[in-house]
Amino acid sequence: MLEKNEIEDLIAIRHHIHQNPELSEQEFATTAFLREKIEALEIEILPSETLKTGFVAQIGSGKPVIALRADIDALPILEKTKLDFASENEGVMHACGHDMHMTSLLGAAKILKSREQELQGTVKLIFQPAEELGTGARDVLAAGLVSDVDAFFGYHNMPTLPAGVIGLREKGVMAAVEQFDVTIIGQGSHAAYPHEGIDPILATSAIVQNLQQIVSRNVPPLEAAVLSVTHVEAGNTWNVLPDTARFEGTIRTFDEKITALTKQRFIEVVENTARAFGVRADIHWIMGSDATYNDPELTAHLFDTTKKWHEATIVPEPSSAGEDFASYRRQAPSVFAFIGSNEVGASGLHFADMTLKDEALSVAVEYYVHTAFAALDYLKK
C-alpha cells in the first residue's frame, strides 16, 4: 500500500516529531507542522475558533461520516533512550508514542486523499490535543467539528507487544479513571497532649484502610475495579500533631454502574470514618474520563475485515490505564485498537527509556485506511 520511499518519509516525520515533543495544550509547533503536511496534500482543514492546538481535517463527502483519531501531545518526562532523534525539549518526551499515532494518520491521509473518489462517504481526521490531560477529546467534541460523525476509530501503540500485531477487543478496553484529592481537617496539638486536639493522621490511616473494603466487599467478584491511594501527606515534625492531612489517588473501573457504586461507597466510607474520628473530610474530584468501550458489532466487523489483510488477535483483557478517546462514545459508537510497537519485554508506555520500532508505522497506516473503508461500507448497509 505504501511505497518504500513513502515509508522512509514517514519514518523521518516520526523522528522529527519525536525530537520536538510538546506538552498537552501547548502543541503549537506540532500543530503547525501537521497542518503544513495536511495542506500540502490539499486536504481541507475545518476552521475552529475554540481549538487552540490540534485540528480536524476531512476527505470525501456526504454520509456516512467516520472519524480517525490520533493524539498529538507528549509527557513531562526526561527522555533516557539515547536515540539519535531523542527529545530536544528537555523534560518533555513522546513516552506514550503519540508521535507514532499522528505520523500514521498523516500516512493514512495521503492514501485516503489519493483514493478520495472511492470513498462512499466522509472521513474526518482528528489530530487531537491534550489526551494526557483527559480534556482533548471533550474539547474536540465541544468545538462542534465532529457532531456529524457516525463512528469513531483510534488505536494506541503497545511497546510491550511485537511490532505490527493488531489487537481488538469487544466492549470495555480501557478503564474509566477517577482522580480524588481528600483533605482531612482535624485540630493540631502537642504530640504529648493528643487529647487536646483531633488527630488527622490517625483518621487518615483508618480511612485508607477502610477504603480497601470497597473492591473486596462491595464490587461483585466478576466485575473489575481498582482503588489506589497513591499519595499521603501530613505534619512536618516529630513532636507536633498537625491540623490537617491529605491523600490522593485513583479509581479505575470498566462499567458505568461499577463506577457509580465505587464512587458512592468511597464518599460514604471517607465521610463516615471521618465522623467516627471527629475530623472533617473535604473530598475533591478531579475531572475523570469514561471507560473506553468498543461497540461489539462494529468491533466484530472490523476484526473480520482486518483478518483479511493482516494478523489480528483478540486482546485477552482490558487495560486499567485511562484513555480520553472514551469521550467520543458519548456521541457515536467507537472502536479502539492496540497495535504492537516494539516487542514482549520492552519498556512500556510512560517509561523514560520507552522506544518504538519503525516497522509498526506502516501497519498502523494500513489499519487506519482499511478501517475507514470497512467502516463506511458497514455504515452504508
Minimal distance in Å, beta carbon 323 to Ni ion? 7
Burial class of residue 80 (count of CB atoms within 10 Å of its CB; 0-12, 13-18, 19+): middle
Task: For Ni ion, give the closer residue by CB, 24 or 31.
Answer: 24
Task: For Ni ion, give the closer residue by CB, 66 or 96.
Answer: 96
164: left (phi > 0), else alpha (psi -120 to 50), else beta? left
Report the C-alpha gap between 56 and 149 in whole angstroms.
Answer: 12
Report the C-alpha gap between 132 and 109 in whole angstroms.
Answer: 24
Report the C-alpha gap between 117 and 369 in whole angstroms.
Answer: 14
Minimal distance in Å, beta carbon 108 to Ni ion? 18
Asked if the peptide bond before residue 333 counts as cis, ω within 30 degrees of 0, the response is no
- Of 95-103, 105-113, 168-176, 248-256, the segment contacting Ni ion by CB under 5 A is 95-103
Task: For Ni ion, give the closer residue by CB, 155 or 303.
Answer: 155
Task: For Ni ion, give the closer residue by CB, 96 or 166.
Answer: 96
Report the C-alpha gap between 101 and 361 in whole angstroms.
Answer: 8
- In Å, the largest CA–CA distance within the chain is 81
Contacting Ni ion (CB under 5 A), which of 57, 66, 96, 312?
96
Residue 58's contacts (CB-CB under 8 Å, 6 or more residues apart) are 43, 44, 46, 122, 123, 124, 125
Task: For Ni ion, give the closer residue by CB, 71 or 199.
Answer: 71
Minimal distance in Å, beta carbon 156 to Ni ion? 6
Minimal distance in Å, beta carbon 137 to Ni ion? 12
Task: For Ni ion, give the closer residue by CB, 96 or 298.
Answer: 96
Q: Which residue from 261, 273, 250 is spatially nearest to 184, judged by alpha carbons?
A: 273
Q: By CB under 5 A, is residue 158 in contact with Ni ion? A: no
- Of 56-64, 90-98, 194-202, 295-303, the segment contacting Ni ion by CB under 5 A is 90-98
Compute how many residues bind Ni ion; rule: CB under 5 A.
1
Whether 61 and 122 have beta carbons less than 8 Å apart is answered as yes
Minimal distance in Å, beta carbon 280 to Ni ion? 38
Judged by CB under 5 A, the chain residues 59 through 78 that form the site for Ni ion are none
- Of 35-43, 91-99, 135-143, 197-205, the segment contacting Ni ion by CB under 5 A is 91-99
In the bound state, the residue with its beta carbon closest to Ni ion is: 96
CA dist list (Å): 14 to 20, 115, 184, 380 = 10, 23, 47, 34
Task: For Ni ion, give the closer residue by CB, 96 or 211.
Answer: 96
Give residues in contact with Ni ion (CB under 5 A): 96
